[in-house]
Amino acid sequence: MLNTEKIEFAISDSAEGRPEAADAGIAVNHKGSVQLTKEDADGHKLEGAVFKIVDQKGNTVQEDLASDQDGNVTASGLAPGHYAFVETKAPEGYVLNTEKIEFTIIESAEGKPKAADAGTAVNYKGAVHLLKQDEDGKGLAGAVFKIIDSDGKTVRDDLVSKDGGKIEADGLAPGSYQFVEKEAPDGYLLSTSPVQFTIKAEHAGKPEQVELTAVNKENGVVLTKVDQNDKASVLQGATFNLTDANGKVLKAGLTTDDKGQIKVSGLKPGDYQFVETKAPENYSLDKTPIPFKISNTDTKPVEITAANLLTPGDVKLTKVDRNDKNAVLQGAEFKLVDSSGHPVKTDGYGKELPAVWKTDQNGQFTVKGLAPGRYQFIETKAPDGYQLDETPLQFDIKAGQSRAVEITAFNTKLKTTPPDKDTPNDNVNGKGHHSNSNDSNGHTKTDKTLPKTGDTDSMIPIVTGILMLLAGGALALSRKRRKKA
């Protein structure tokens, strides 16, 4: 560098003999030096940034220049000319600033030149802006997020979307991140899809804020109404009220569609219940409340299945004498089976049924609450003195029937069989007569005995013989008289 500092010296006015040369001293030429200060966006000094210096042609003239604890970077031994600092490594956690910082080493200086001041070089951290919206683009306040890095470590937590759905986070080191939703806004489903973003490792100057959008779908509940005994059969036309946990009606007259469904969306977190107010046609009303809960952590609509029974029906059986319809028969016993012959053990409400049905003093019994379907009564014991009739009595319970099905069953009296005269003297009763009785199936048993002397039945053969002898004598006498004549 040109040193413009004057170097003074004096020539004496006289000298003895040849004068010696005057000594002007030493003239020094210096090279230039430079200083750069490294800071963050808030003016804090940054240690550990590494730079190189390039000339106008891009040639590296010095490298591995690191900022000290005071943020200073210095370089010396520079010839006059135009140069630039180029950052090659950012401080830990900062974005590399690729913007060149130019400076000049002047051509001349008076004496030792001062170090050129290259100014301040700033390193920034990354920033991100997330906009929380619904499916129609409306901003949603109240969503809660955290940010995790590529190792799954939480670097920001409890970030809440403000009015308009905005969330902002800064101070992020370069790397890959994800927004993870912790709680959805009221009335919306929690999104299980993380929103990924990257803070770039380098940028010229201040990096732009990363812009993101996250969408929430409305939460809700889906109730599906089905047949109690056929879950694949969905039921249209059931009507419900939606209430809170205290029974306050929030929505009334909600009716299942052709898919058997009711859908309600946009519910705030809390406890709710559906209460049926009208059953589908031919089905029984079930007023039992169906509770459910809505949470800000729900990831899909709450699904509820509600079942209805087809309205059960009744059947009444009356047992009468076959030849006298006014004579009702007590004590007939039946079993109730389904169309496949299996015993019917429960009614349409699930209540246990007796295994045996017995006619009362009016010759009747009634089975109540049978689910719609085909059934049979089969007699297992006849009334006393009557024949058992095991012919199945088939009947149908129809959905929605208002009156009991009426069945009349008949029995025929057992016939009295005359005694057999040739029967040996077995099973004689106390009076020596034949004894007739019915077994448990209504069949006749006969105890046959021989008549005792003096019994009316024992005189019949004797009288018959006498009459035959008298008739024979009369016939012979008549023929004798005709010959004489």
CATH of the domain at 57: 2.60.40.10
Q: Are residues 114 and 137 in the same domain?
A: no
Helix, strand, coil content of the chain in percent (nearest 5) = 5, 50, 45
Q: Is residue 446 part of a domain?
A: no
Query: What pLDDT score was predicted for residue 401?
Result: 86
In a domain, 397, yes or no: yes
- Residues 313/349, Cβ–Cβ less than 8 Å: no
Per the structure, the count of domains in the chain is: 4
CA atoms of 296 and 299, how far apart (whole Å): 9
pLDDT at 17: 73
Residue 8 has a pLDDT of 72
Whether residue 228 lies inside any domain: the answer is: yes
Residues 8 and 114 both lie in one domain: yes
Do 35 and 99 fall within a single domain? yes
| 28 falls within a domain | yes
Residue 154 within a domain: yes
Query: Is residue 34 packed enough to be buried (19+ CB in 10 Å), middle (13-18) or exposed (0-12)?
Result: buried
Helix (H) / strand (E) containing 62: strand 60-66
Residue 32 shares a structural domain with residue 111 = yes
* 166 and 179 part of one domain: yes
Q: Are strands 202-203 and 96-97 parallel, antiparallel or unpaired?
A: parallel
Alpha carbons 420 and 422: distance in angstroms, whole number: 6
Region label for 341, one of left (φ > 0), alpha (ψ between -120 and 50) or beta (otherwise): left
Please say whether the beta carbons of 196 and 90 come within 8 A. Answer: no
Give the number of C-alpha atoms closer than 13 A to the C-alpha of residue 34, restricted to the C-beta side: 26
pLDDT for the residue 29: 64
- H or E segment to which residue 96 belongs: strand 96-97
Strand ranges for 124-229 from DSSP E: 126-134, 144-149, 154-160, 166-172, 175-183, 195-199, 202-203, 210-216, 220-227
- 64 — phi, psi (to 5°)? 55, 40
What distance in Å separates the CA atoms of residue 482 and residue 476, rounded to the nearest whole number? 10
Residue (of 79, 29, 30, 90) closest to 55 by Cα position: 79
Looking at the structure, tell me whether residues 170 and 244 fall in a common domain: no
| 365 CB neighbour count, 10 Å cutoff | 20
Residue where a domain terminates, one of 95, 123, 151: 123
- Within a domain: residue 434? no
Domain termination site, one of 267, 292, 308: 308
Q: Which pLDDT does position 6 carry in this prediction?
A: 74
- Do residue 338 and residue 362 come from a single domain? yes
Q: Does the residue 445 lie in any domain?
A: no
Report DSSP state, residue 349: T
| 336 and 304 both lie in a single domain | no
Give dist(CA 456, CA 434) in Å, integer. Answer: 14
CB 232 within 8 A of CB 240: no
Query: Do residues 303 and 370 share a domain?
Result: no
204/106 same-domain check = no
pLDDT mean for each 10 residues of the chain (485 residues): 67 75 66 93 96 96 96 95 97 96 87 86 96 95 97 97 95 97 96 96 94 95 94 96 97 98 96 97 94 96 95 96 96 97 92 97 97 96 97 93 94 80 47 37 38 46 62 58 50
* Residue ending a domain, choose from 193, 216, 239: 216
Is there a single domain that holds both residue 8 and residue 105? yes
Distance from C-alpha of 184 to C-alpha of 190, rounded to nearest angstrom = 5
Structure tokens at 481: 């008289």
% pLDDT > 70, the chain = 82
On whether residue 143 sits in a domain, the answer given is yes
Radius of gyration of the chain (CA): 58
Neighbours of 78 (CB within 10 A): 21
Euclidean distance between CA atoms 429 and 432, whole angstroms: 5
**Domain range spanning residue 385?**
313-411
Residues 323 and 283 in one domain: no
Residue 416's pLDDT is 74
Distant-in-sequence, close-in-space partners of 248: CB < 8 Å, separation ≥ 6: none
